[in-house]
Amino acid sequence: MRQDTVRRPLPGFAVCVIAGTWAGLAWAPPPNLLLACAAVLWALSAALLPREKAARTPGAGRPRVGTGAAAVFACAAFLACAGASRRAGHEGGAWLPDAGTRIELTGIVASDPEVLPAGGDRAQWRFPLRVESAEAAGPLPVPRGARATVRVYGPGGYGGPAYGERWAVAGTVIEAGFRSGPRPARAPAGKAVRAGFVRSRRLSAGQGWRAAELCYAARRSAAAQLARGIGDRPEVAGLVRALLLGYRGELPRQARDVAVASGTLHIFAISGLHVGVIAGMIVFVLRTLGVPRVYWVLFIAPLLAAYTFATGMKASAVRACVMATIFWAAPFAGRRADSFSALALAAVAILAAAPAQLFDIGFVCSFVVVTGLIVLYPRLHAPWTRLLAPDPFRVVPERAAARGLRRAASYAASLWSLSVAAWVTSAPLTAYYFGRFVPGAIVSNLVVIPLAFLMVVAACLSLVLGPIAPWLGITFNNANIALVAALMRSLAAVTAIPGAHLRIAPPPAAAVWLWYAVLALVLMAHDRRNRRAAPGNDRDPRAGATSELPARAGMID
């Protein structure tokens, strides 16, 4: 083994966890059998080869590694099966009676309700209810830990339910649509309860976790701040709230349609862009106060965790939060940040908490695209770096204007490389899940990413400075009016290009795997050719970019 090879055990561990989770959810073998297999494999891994012998003999550690990987696979499958068996019948309202049945539920609001327009002056509050009792022509047995999705309709000016409140709702069982997941395996998501304020009532408050109440209250306060001064432009406030706070229900229909057609709907998923901007503002404050870099993670980690929790803990947000925390924790631990290891740890953490996330479209797209960015971006950007590098034989220093043009060209090249890398890795998933082929997304991202970044910055400045100087908050909110207008005009122009957005028949899963297999072969051939062209340069081409890539990758996903 070469001495300069970068060792990354976490990605291999994550691959075993992902494979085991998939096997456990897809095949559903008996959990006890899997647990026994995992215990036997771990014992073999410990006893098969002593550590000292493995260290002395080259290649002798491979049986230990293989057996350990198999043990991880079995453990992940066990956890997936156990989690699936615990949740069987509890999620999606599978325990509810048939659609059309009148039912009365009593329970606690388990999350921050999502407020959606319901036509006219009416609104819809959609939230999960942790059910305590149920009646439908008599008491119904309620499984332990059961939840039901509730949709309460009423006047828009009413306060509505809030997290941690105990409510009694009376309504009708309805079909709830479809669960997100791999296209061939999609199934009805179950049932929900449609209720109205006339027959529903609040029983008590303060039944939730205090920290969660504070997070959700801060989110609602932030939503109110982002609408100050632009009350006559509700579509702008709704778009900004969807972008920064995760209120996807407030995204205007026109903006949603244009974003889908241009392949840029990803910017409204809380992810690296949002986490990166917030972390940057925290870093600015810490640097201004003179806090040493080593201790920044002690402030960044809890604040990012609170933001991720308040905005719904979607897979892309959790992934970005974990990666950012690991990135800033590296100096505290005396280590260098590594993108692959951070991404692998984020995947393991999410699957350990919720194995079913493996079949969620958001989880799949987020991790596949970020992996593609980490792998492809350094290779796509390397030629531009060489092309735009200053002349090493130049005697007279460059003028300031020339240096500025070089920096602008370097930023444009970086953005182009990110956009191409994201499109190459996301195109087969977009076609498979949504039946769309969007080559115009390459151009759209060049416009959307800078504008979305400016919108998030303006919104964050409004939240920070608005309570101190209200006129500053209103100023930044009005700045977002111009940015939203520029965003919508740009996306409309891109979607008007012939062939920029095509509806296609979803390809089979084999075609998606073939796409990534061909991409992997092309990258392997590219790296092999580069090693031959530069003898002695056996260093991992990804190693030099691992420290800064999480922040750059977060700009687009």
Q: Which of 163, 132, 135, 165 is nearest to 146 (CA)?
A: 132
Q: Which of 17, 372, 437, 435 is nearest to 186 (CA)?
A: 435
CA distance 26 to 19: 10
Condensed to tens digits (0 to 9), the pLDDT of residues 511-520 reads 999 999 999 9
CA distance 144 to 133: 11
Q: Is 535 left (phi over 0), alpha (psi -120 to 50) or beta?
A: beta
- Please indicate whether residue 351 or residue 428 has the higher confidence score (pLDDT): 428
Least-confidence region, from 169-183, 261-275, 375-389: 169-183
Residues near 505 by beta carbon (within 8 Å), at least 6 away in sequence = 435
Residues near 378 by beta carbon (within 8 Å), at least 6 away in sequence = 541, 542, 544, 545, 549
Long-range contacts of 222-228 (CB under 8 A, 24+ apart): 222/463, 223/247, 225/462, 225/463, 225/466, 225/467, 225/473, 226/459, 226/462, 226/463, 226/477, 227/477, 228/462, 228/466, 228/470, 228/473, 228/474, 228/477
Indicate the pLDDT class of residue 2, thresholds 50, 70 and 90: very low
Question: What count of Cα atoms within 13 Å lies in the side-chain half-sphere of residue 475?
Answer: 9
Asked whether the beta carbons of 354 and 347 are under 8 A apart, the reply is no
Compute the average pLDDT of residues 389-413: 82
Compute the average pLDDT of residues 128-142: 86
Highest mean pLDDT among 94-98, 270-274, 433-437, 473-477: 473-477
CA distance 425 to 526: 17
Q: What is the percent of the chain with per-residue pLDDT over 70, rounded to a whole number?
A: 78
Condensed to tens digits (0 to 9), the pLDDT of residues 200-215 reads 889 988 888 888 888 8
Condensed to tens digits (0 to 9), the pLDDT of residues 315-356 reads 788 888 888 888 888 888 777 778 888 888 888 888 877 777
Compute the average pLDDT of residues 121-125: 82
- Please indicate whether residue 188 or residue 456 has the higher confidence score (pLDDT): 456
Whole-number pLDDT of residue 480: 92
Four-point Cα dihedral 313, 319, 323, 329, nearest 10: 30
Q: Is 70 helix (H, G, I), strand (E, B) or coil?
A: helix
Q: What is the DSSP letter of 537?
A: -
Indicate the pLDDT class of residue 7, thresholds 50, 70 and 90: low
What value does the CA radius of gyration of the chain take, rounded to a whole number of Å? 26
Whole-number pLDDT of residue 498: 85
Residues near 464 by beta carbon (within 8 Å), at least 6 away in sequence = 281
Angle subtended at Cα 329 by Cα 454 and Cα 18, rounded to the nearest 5 degrees? 90
Residues near 13 by beta carbon (within 8 Å), at least 6 away in sequence = 72, 344, 348
Whole-number pLDDT of residue 48: 54
CA distance 424 to 373: 9
User: Could you tell me where the DSSP H helices lie in 263-296?
Assistant: 272-289
Q: Which of 550, 540, 553, 557 is nearest to 337 (CA)?
A: 550
Condensed to tens digits (0 to 9), the pLDDT of residues 79-89 reads 655 555 445 44
| Residue-range domain boundaries for the chain | 9-87, 102-208
**Is the predicted pLDDT of residue 118 greater than 80, yes or no?**
no
Chain centroid to Cα 114, Å, comes to 19
CA distance 274 to 245: 9
Q: Is 556 helix (H, G, I), strand (E, B) or coil?
A: coil
- Please indicate whether residue 172 or residue 5 has the higher confidence score (pLDDT): 172
pTM to 2 decimal places: 0.78
Q: How many CB atoms lie within 10 A of CB 118?
A: 15
Whole-number pLDDT of residue 517: 92
- Please indicate whether residue 16 or residue 439 has the higher confidence score (pLDDT): 439
Q: Which CATH number fits domain 102-208: 2.40.50.140, 2.40.100.10, 3.40.1190.20, 3.30.360.10?
A: 2.40.50.140
